[in-house]
Amino acid sequence: MKKLLFLIVAILCSCQSNKKENSQVNPELNLPPNPYFAEIKVNDVKLRTPVFGDWLYSHPEKGQSFEQFMNTKHVVPTKEEDIIYLQPIGKFDALQVKQIELVRQYLEIFFQLKTKVLKEVSNDIIPKNVRRSGELGQEQFLAGYILDSVLKKEKHEKGIALMAITEKDLYPKPEWNYVFGLASYRDKIAVSSIHRLYDKKMEGADFSLCLERLLKICSHEIGHMFGLHHCIEADCVMNGTNSLSETDEHSLRLCSLCQRKLNSGFKYDNIKRLKELVKYFKENNLAEGLELMKKDIEKIKK
């Protein structure tokens, strides 16, 4: 009987110890969510049932709850690492340079972290053995080479994430035609291509469309670096995509759940971020993004 009583006490103490340990690891799980996330949740748009060609049709995913996110090791900014870097690779014209600067401004608002553009480097850093001609005769670079042999060795002051942007088309392996981008989330590096994002005019509405696509791709990939999985809860910039047309269908906005995940470690001012996004979208004539942010502002004012 004494042995049984001792065993019960030991189990109870162990449970209490585990609870205390979990609470210390993830204290946010024991706190009520910020009312902000409940207020904007009404603006989340439920994803439609996937059809042939959609990402979720061919990649059925389980998603990621807030609890799963908090219990998974992920990158959080610190005083030592809190700057996002963009590395242009190639020869960019004036409008493309402007796009990269606008991406920098957007990422600085989106993640509420200082974002810097590094000095442009030449395409000459890509050797001939990892170049090829694409289906239309365009030059393509092997995306994995850029990650492993260019970006991985780069170390920048207080760098927390590094994304290269190239004007050349990319391919991930010989049997694939192309890829918009590639990332190593463990190494916090990624590369994306601007090549397929516009119809080669880069003017007027085409400039805005290309910019919107680039904002989606860059914020999505860097979001992964900070621990966000593909979102299956709502129309969200963290949705997986199979094509450029599917990218166009999905939102620039982070859904309320993904915003809560990101904010849990970053601790930025949600209202400040929202107002800055409104200003950015307005100044750059991105009507869809502006409308989405205005809807969120209306909800938090009530």
By annotation, the residues acting in catalysis are: 221
∠ CA 162-219-55 to the nearest 5 degrees? 115
Alpha helices in the chain (DSSP H): 2-25, 35-41, 55-58, 66-70, 94-110, 143-145, 204-225, 244-249, 256-266, 270-283, 287-301
Side by side, the strands of the sheet bearing 169-171 are: 131-133, 139-142, 169-171
Contact 261, 228 (CB under 8 A): yes
H helices of 143-184, where?
143-145
What b/e string do you get for 147-167 counting C-beta neighbours within 10 Å, with b at 16 or more? beebbeeeeeeebbbbbbbbb
